[in-house]
Amino acid sequence: MTHSTDTGGYRDIRARSVVSSTRAQPGGGVTTGLTELDEATLVARARDRDPAAFELLVRRYQRRIYTLCLRMLNGATGDAEDVAQETFVTAWRRLPEIQHEAAFGSWLYRTATNKCLTVLQRRKPTAELNEESAPQDLAHDPARAAGNTAAMQALAVALRRLPPPQRACWLLREVHGRSYQEIADLVGTTPTAVRGRIARARAELAEVMKPWR
């Protein structure tokens, strides 16, 4: 079961606002030349405190990170925006610690996932549905959305009732397409444990979704 990673509640997390408080050198916006660079080069330049390079990295990842946070945090748009922004602020501050440029994306996912789990541990679970967490393709197709409202609500509520570790693994696998090994690295466990969590999550969700099969 794979869902769109776009969300109707998405708001642009302005890269410049992330960098502005920690900017180490003056500079303009993203230049045409930078957009042609590969990710490893951008990470290397951002690690050398190039704010324009980091701004472009944020723009490349912000929707994916925000979507992960939104679904991890039960559709709470405010919390999702806060955690996504905190993730990029942390990335800017800790970039010098990232030795392998290719690991940047995985590091972002791990940081966002851990921050979301921390937020979930601090608050009581809720089964309220936030319509802004619905996939964007449904939000832009009223007829289809009307036909899928009950199923989406059931799935959303079921996801929110999963233990946070199961929900994280399921989302990283089914929504973000990460491998079992990648998920294990992201959440700090083994691939076997990840498979077990996802299997339990799938079984629970399949039971809930039986009426719509």
Short-list 115, 118, 129, 109, CA closest to 176:
109
- Domain range list for the chain: 15-129+136-212
Give me 170's structure tokens.
């399921």
Q: Which residue has the tokens 């690690």?
A: 47
Higher-scoring residue by pLDDT: 127, 212: 212
Answer whether 112's CB lies under 8 Å from 97's CB: no
Q: What is the mean pLDDT of residues 40-46?
A: 91
Q: Which residue has the tokens 């010098």?
A: 96
pLDDT at residue number 18: 56
pLDDT at residue number 1: 42
| R_g of the chain, CA atoms, integer Å | 18
Q: pLDDT-based confidence at 210, cuts 50/70/90?
A: confident
- Residue range 15-129+136-212 forms a domain whose CATH class is mainly alpha
Give me 81's structure tokens.
């925006």
pLDDT at residue number 207: 87
The yes-or-no verdict on residue 145 having pLDDT over 60 is: no
Q: Give pTM, 2 decimals.
A: 0.66
Phi, psi of 135 (to 5 degrees): -55, 145
